[in-house]
Structure 1
Amino acid sequence: MKTETGPTPSRAKVVYVVPHLSSEESEHFAHIPAFLEALGKRVDLIALVERGTPPERLPGVHMIVSAVGRNRLSRLFGSIRAVRSCARAGYRTYFLRYSRFFLIMLIVTYPFFGHRIFLWRSGTADLIEHGRRRTVRQRLNDGLNQLLSRCVHTFVTGPESMVPVMRARWHVPGNKMRLLYNDIDSNRFVPLSPEERAEVRRRHGWGDDEFVVLFVHRLSFRRGTRLLAPLLDHVGADLRRPVRLVVVGDGPDRSLLTHQSTGRPGLQILGAVPNRDLPPLYGAADCFLMPSYEEGFPRVLLEAMSSALPIVTTGAGGSADVVGPDYPFICDVGDLTGLAEKVAEVAHLPLAERTALGGRLRERARHEFSPQRVAQMLEDIL
């Protein structure tokens, strides 16, 4: 347990449960410090870390409590000790993102500590693979999630279009639903100077004349990765310049993409890249592609927007809400031809227009999804 600053008695006290926090391992870590620092200016804050290697201090955080364990049993006892430590410090309001294990712990220990539970979820991550029936395990998992969702005090989701989706999916009463955005640190994800762009492109072997399309996500059916190779073929046939599709991520479709890259020199697979190392890739690319079948509140769109990178996306989940009304480069889910045409349209834009498009996306990210604004939204919910 590590203390940085003393609490302010008149403010709300909140335990923010972090599923995985590590400066070396977790992709999630890179997004957390800026938001917790902004939130810590509004509420007294404990960061409760489930897995990883918590740092000594986090700006804005009064105390860091570790529930890290080597196995499930040690995690169980560590979680109980963590909840007890938070209660002794006067903290009985918990905000969680997705963490089912700790959610169960809070529900079980509620009779002893009387805490409030705010649960954030977005998307339909259990979407079944194409052509497969739902298994008994999937049905049981779905039922358990619905049961747990009814036990929380407030169900939080976003963006706007996901509120009715999540309410219907988890059978959550309307009076329990609240809207909350994801945030993006626009001081980390920034446009690059021409000199910086040239250096990053040189380092990765991207030619000056290549139109570089960037994909960053989990390599799975739900994220549309099986559309990537044929999409590259379509775009390459349409443009009069070389096209490179750079794939960042890992997952079950990694081997398929590796196989498809044979004979396609324009398909470059970088594998998993820590989030802290992503900003230069966004800044050096020419277009961001998200061909997902399923999404909730995709943070990769926020990263691309903050980097002033033009985007081509499907309308899966809340994606259209994120890029904003009247954004011209949105396709229907599964529309390979439409996605290829939109990428080609972006490539055909004059450089000044493409730059202006990216600039508008960056301004939207900075205004709508800043850590400060999202921290205020969460304070209002609490």
Structure 2
Amino acid sequence: MTSYRPRAVFILPEYDAATGSHFSYIYALLGDAASALDLLVIAERARGAIPEAAYRIRAQRFAFGPLRLLELFVLLLAARISGVRHAYVHYSIYGGLAAWLVFGCTGGRAYYWNCGMPWLYRRNRFAEAAFRFVLRHAILVTGTPGLAVTYARIYGLRPDRIRVLPNGIDVDLFGAAARDSDIRQNFGIAANAPVVFFAHRLSRRKGADLLPDIAARILARMPRAMVLIAGDGPEREAIRADMERRGIASGARLLGSVPQRDIAAYFGAADAFLMPSEEEGFPHVLLEAMAARTPYVATDVGGVREITPPALTPYLAPSGNSERIAEALIDLLERSANERRAIGEIEAAWVRRYDRVIVRDQFIALFTK
């Protein structure tokens, strides 16, 4: 006899089975949750072939905005008529509007995930109005209690209409992959040379414009150090030119995009991880650093302080201050290997609360309680 599974629709802005981004964690979460939920995943855009999965995937066909919105509305309406009670939208504003209209207005539930600092960046007038409408009429899901309070204050939301759901990671799998790293050998980096690693989109939002100055400050104090920069984005060429102008290109390497399946090895090779973002919500990269037992320096923005072990909060720096960020990194790198290992052990214990299995159960509880 098959046990009952609550039915839900999950709307993704994009589906790409070969993604190099943290969307791979969402796919894993959905696969884990499919044992307890009957899931239909609607992808607004899809790249490549859609593989078989534990859940059904439907890729939208239309690219033109109004037609895509109409198509999404029809898909959601069909699901609602068939008895589905829950819709969960990952960031998409138009997905949030359609989910509220079909589910929120007919006795179902429309959840809307948003986790960041959207109040820092203004959209055009229509998009901003639509975003605020979705926040006020759907059930907001965000990453930390502190972010929930901030969203409620800035957007005038009722606290009882907000849920907290952390991001998750397979702690054991990522940690094992990090420990099996051959990156130093591949790049010819000496075993005792300090290595700093950055992995994020090369954009100003992620503090990428600060990387040349941070790297220059580290290399001025520690000439044998190596700064490895993984990622791509609009700041890439400006970063390259700035590093060449400063004469540090041999000590700071642009790696380009690194596939998500390979990223753990870079964390494993690093003595410290760097996240200089001006805006964050609940960054997966810090979960990865902790799972890899790699101490990190990050900017004190969004939910970063809430997910950071107390032992590492002295290494949270103000956003935009490359001098403070570099000094914190140098302090970490000058600590003994035993001291850094002790920090890594603290991280490994702390990140357990965000293990994939725990987050899966919290996600399922949204639809079953």
User: Above 0.5 in TM-score?
Assistant: yes
CA distance in 1, matches of 2:306, 2:141: 16
Change (3 A) 1:109 1:380: closer
How many pairs align? 362
CA RMSD of aligned residues (A): 2.5
Q: CA deviation at 1:203?
A: 2.0
Change (3 A) 1:96 1:205: farther
Residues 316-327 of structure 1: pairs in structure 2 closer than 5 A: 316-327=301-312
2:86 equivalent to 1:102: no
Residues 144-293 of structure 1: pairs in structure 2 closer than 5 A: 144-152=130-138, 154-191=139-176, 196-197=180-181, 199-239=182-222, 241-262=223-244, 263-264=247-248, 265-293=250-278
Unaligned runs of 5+ in 2: none
Residues 133-148 of structure 1: pairs in structure 2 closer than 5 A: 138=124, 140-148=126-134
Q: CA deviation at 1:77?
A: 4.6
Deviations, residues 210-249 of structure 1 (Å, cap 9, x unaligned): 211111112222222222111112222223x511111112
Change (3 A) 1:343 1:186: same
Higher share in helix:
2
Question: Could you say what secondary structure the match of 2:331 adopts?
Answer: helix
CA distance in 1, matches of 2:332, 2:234: 30
Task: State the partner residue of 1:3.
Answer: none
From 3, 9, 28, the counterpart of 1:8:
3
Task: State the partner residue of 1:23.
Answer: 17
From 346, 356, 365, the counterpart of 1:371:
356
Question: Could you say what secondary structure the match of 1:122 adopts?
Answer: coil
Question: Could you say what secondary structure the match of 2:191 adopts?
Answer: coil
Change (3 A) 1:344 1:16: same
Task: State the partner residue of 1:46.
Answer: 40
Task: State the partner residue of 1:131.
Answer: none
Task: State the partner residue of 1:303.
Answer: 288
Question: Letter of the aligned partner of 2:338 in structure 1?
Answer: A
CA distance in 1, matches of 2:3, 2:87: 18
Q: CA deviation at 1:7?
A: 6.9
Larger CA deviation: 251-260 vs 13-22:
13-22
Deviations, residues 299-318 of structure 1 (Å, cap 9, x unaligned): 11112111221111111111
Instruction: Answer whether contact 1:30 1:276 (CA < 8 A) is retained.
Output: no
Instruction: Answer whether contact 2:169 2:355 (CA < 8 A) is retained.
Output: yes
Deviations, residues 88-111 of structure 1 (Å, cap 9, x unaligned): 543220111211121122234348
Deviations, residues 348-367 of structure 1 (Å, cap 9, x unaligned): 122122123123212322x2
Question: Letter of the aligned partner of 2:11 in structure 1?
Answer: V
Task: State the partner residue of 2:345.
Answer: 359
User: Percent same amino acid among aligned pairs?
Assistant: 27
Unaligned runs of 5+ in 1: 1-5, 129-133
Residues 71-90 of structure 1: pairs in structure 2 closer than 5 A: 71-72=64-65, 75-90=68-83
